[in-house]
């Protein structure tokens, strides 16, 4: 994130709406405690380098923009920091506290296949806060009465005439989107994977055995898809948690999607305490604040 000249005369809220409409990312920095700065002062730093707002001190603005860039790489939602923690040279403001918040569209999940695993995944992801689209070419599998619970009413149900068209429409520009391909056969997998690779979402995963997934990937490789594109596909999909039931498989899939979004490693946090492994910065931050939840 480049440090550009800050625009102090533009409404920060207007630019937050622009960031969300564009599907881009920004960090919002807010003064929440200070003797010398106005509480509530805000600075929005976009991933593009454009900045809007003013915290009340030019040097603090620059330091907050640099720290905001690092904050975005952690993929956390929010974090409060004393100025002394990221701008030691600003001694007069060292005890001031600012809040860093990630600004981006709510995460989206497109589930291709509404069988037992797909339906379970859609329900679980909706509970977690994803905006979910569930697609199947069998209309009876995406009937609204099957998803009538309060937590399921926001799931977008699509009865597809064409897997490819339905996937492309649901993925859109690919930003903040994950795709889980959990269909019932090779042909459906191929159609969905072609569409997903072309749309370039943040995450693509495909269910199936090693043999089944290799058949699909080999077919697309023969069709001319780039090897680097195919390497992005998580297949078989999900983390190894020993899942057996459809609900457990859905949990394993969503765990991998969240890990990809948050920059997690998928290991055991207790291993980090014992010194057996390295844990992601996001997990460290969550555990350090666990008493807040």
Per-position DSSP letters for 13-79, written without gaps between them: HHHHHHHHHHT--EEEEEEEE-SSS-TT-EEEEETTS-EEE--S-HHHHHHHHHHHHHHHHHT-SEE
Provide the pLDDT for residue 98. 97
Provide the pLDDT for residue 262. 82
The domains found in the chain, sorted by start residue, are 6-103 (no CATH), 108-262 (3.40.50.720)
Instruction: For the sheet with 108-112, list strands across it.
Output: 156-159, 131-136, 108-112, 177-181, 203-206, 233-234
Is the alpha carbon torsion for 188, 108, 224, 228 positive or negative? negative
Query: Who's near 25: CB < 8 A, 6+ residues apart?
Result: 19, 46, 47, 72, 102, 103, 104
Provide the pLDDT for residue 286. 45
pTM for the model: 0.75
- Please list the pLDDT of the chain residue by residue as tens digits (293 residues): 544 444 544 589 999 999 988 878 899 999 999 999 999 999 999 988 899 999 999 999 999 999 999 898 877 789 999 999 999 999 999 999 999 999 988 899 999 999 999 999 999 999 999 999 999 999 999 999 999 999 999 999 999 999 999 999 999 888 889 999 999 888 899 999 999 999 989 999 999 888 889 999 999 999 999 898 899 999 999 999 999 999 999 999 999 999 988 888 888 887 766 666 665 655 555 444 444 43
Provide the pLDDT for residue 173. 83
């Amino acid at each position: 994130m480049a440090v550009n000249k800050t625009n102090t005369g533009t409404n920060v809220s207007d630019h937050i709406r622009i960031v969300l409409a564009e599907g881009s990312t920004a960090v919002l920095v807010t003064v929440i405690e200070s003797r010398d700065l106005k509480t509530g002062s805000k600075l929005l730093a976009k991933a593009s380098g454009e900045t809007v707002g003013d915290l009340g001190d030019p040097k603090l603005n620059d330091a907050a923009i640099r720290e905001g860039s690092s904050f975005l790489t952690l993929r956390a939602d929010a974090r409060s920091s004393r100025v002394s923690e990221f701008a030691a040279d600003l001694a007069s403001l060292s005890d001031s506290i600012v809040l860093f918040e990630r600004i981006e569209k709510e995460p989206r999940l497109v589930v291709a296949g509404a069988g037992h695993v797909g339906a379970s995944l859609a329900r679980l992801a909706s509970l977690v806060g994803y905006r979910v689209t569930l697609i199947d070419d069998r209309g009876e599998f995406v009937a609204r009465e099957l998803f009538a619970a309060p937590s399921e009413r926001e799931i977008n149900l699509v009865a597809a005439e064409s897997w490819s068209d339905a996937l492309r429409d649901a993925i859109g520009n690919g930003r903040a989107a994950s795709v889980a391909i959990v269909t019932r056969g090779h042909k459906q997998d191929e159609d969905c994977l072609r569409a997903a690779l072309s749309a370039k979402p943040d995450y693509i995963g495909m269910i199936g055995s090693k043999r089944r997934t290799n058949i699909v990937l080999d077919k697309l490789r023969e069709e001319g898809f780039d090897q680097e594109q195919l390497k992005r596909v998580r297949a078989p999909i999900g983390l190894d948690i020993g899942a057996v039931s459809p609900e457990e498989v859905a949990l394993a899939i969503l765990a991998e999607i969240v890990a990809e979004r948050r920059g997690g490693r998928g290991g055991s946090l207790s291993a980090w305490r014992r010194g057996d492994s390295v844990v992601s910065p996001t997990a460290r931050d969550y555990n350090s604040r666990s008493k807040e939840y």
